Amino acid sequence: MIGWDNLITGSKANLDGLRGHPGFIFREQDITAAVTVEGRLDLVMNLASPASPKDYLEHPIETLEVGSIGSRNLLNLALEKGARYLLASTSESYGDPLVHPQVETYWGNVNPVGPRSCYDESKRFAEAITMAYHRTHGLRTNIARIFNTYGPRMQMDDGRVVPAFLGQALRGEPITVFGDGRQTRSFCYVSDLVDGLIRLSRSEERYPVNLGNPHEMTILHFAEAIQEIIGTRMPIRFHPLPEDDPKLRRPGIGKAQRILGWEPKVAFEDGMRITIQYFRGMLDAVPARG
């Protein structure tokens, strides 16, 4: 197995458990540059992209390039090697959705020139070029639309709501809720997501499949729930809602249930407890970025 990452938002420390593993090679490389591999390849999984709004707003051009040039490079690699190809796309393909819950047949409500467009349109292009390679070259492709996923090894300061609130609650700081906190998200634990991705990569489904946990809650409720689990009660500080922040998000997972026999297994409290434990351990060790 080969892992490529230019570490624009990731961390090499996340691979510590694989160091010295005879079946794993890591290459610190940007997939927007030419990607070559010696020997056989069975499957190319394209998970490359900044995914946190804070990160992609800081790197809009890199985000557009990795979804377009990077996707094309990995599709060409899969084609050359006769390998299967899986694209990690996103619930952001639905933009600020007008259909709830979001189902794969919904085409979305994306602002093509707003601040989030660098991510949304990059992923929508990545979906389009994946379908084009399938239709033109018969490449065996899959497209996962991943909804909010969390777990150990997220960057504490990546700005997303899970690390933000857990870090604040653990440090005894006020919780920063954007807007009135009535916007919703549905959080999926990482092991469930990985199981879904592996099942999808083995399936014959070429059109997008949602992978996420349909357990939906408001951001305000999420702030209260994690304080309850941690056993703190910090004040809530309300900040302006970022532009184009989706108001409702919950995956319709009927398709994944039907064709992959997949649904999330890890309960919110259980996944959060494991993640809290991880962040507690990291708190003193990791200096804040930027």
Residues carrying an active site annotation: 119
Among the candidate windows 18-26, 35-43, 175-183, 209-217, which touches ligand UDP by CB under 6 A?
175-183
Q: Which of 59, 145, 185, 255 binds ligand UDP (CB under 6 A)?
A: 185
Rank residues 73 and 149 by Cβ distance to ligand UDP and give the closer one.
149
93 is a contact residue toward ligand UDP (CB under 6 A): no
Q: Which of 26, 106, 125, 178 binds ligand UDP (CB under 6 A)?
A: 178
Number of Cβ atoms within 10 Å of the Cβ of 98: 12
70 is a contact residue toward ligand UDP (CB under 6 A): no
- Say which residue the tokens 């018969």 belong to: 138
Closest distance to ligand UDP from the beta carbon of 98 (Å): 17
Consecutive H or E run containing 37: none
Q: Which of 31, 49, 53, 124 binds ligand UDP (CB under 6 A)?
A: 53
What is residue 102's DSSP assignment?
A: B
Instruction: Tell me which long-range contacts 243-247 makes (C-beta under 8 A, separation of at least 24).
Output: 243/114, 243/115, 243/116, 244/95, 244/96, 244/111, 244/114, 244/115, 244/116, 245/96, 245/178, 245/179, 245/183, 246/92, 246/94, 246/95, 246/96, 246/97, 246/183, 247/96, 247/182, 247/183, 247/184
Closest distance to ligand UDP from the beta carbon of 61 (Å): 19
Rank residues 22 and 290 by Cβ distance to ligand UDP and give the closer one.
290
Burial class (CB in 10 A: 0-12, 13-18, 19+), 166: buried
Closest distance to ligand UDP from the beta carbon of 116 (Å): 8
Among the candidate windows 9-17, 224-232, 237-245, 253-261, which touches ligand UDP by CB under 6 A?
237-245
Cα–Cα distance between 209 and 254 in angstroms, integer?
9
Closest distance to ligand UDP from the beta carbon of 188 (Å): 12
154 is a contact residue toward ligand UDP (CB under 6 A): no
Cα–Cα distance between 127 and 90 in angstroms, integer?
10
60 is a contact residue toward ligand UDP (CB under 6 A): no
Q: Which two tokens stand for residue 154?
A: 């997220």
Q: Are strands 209-211 and 141-146 parallel, antiparallel or unpaired?
A: parallel
Q: Which of 66, 154, 188, 219 binds ligand UDP (CB under 6 A)?
A: 219
Which residues contact ligand UDP by CB under 6 A?
52-53, 148, 159-161, 164, 176-178, 183, 185, 219, 241-242, 245
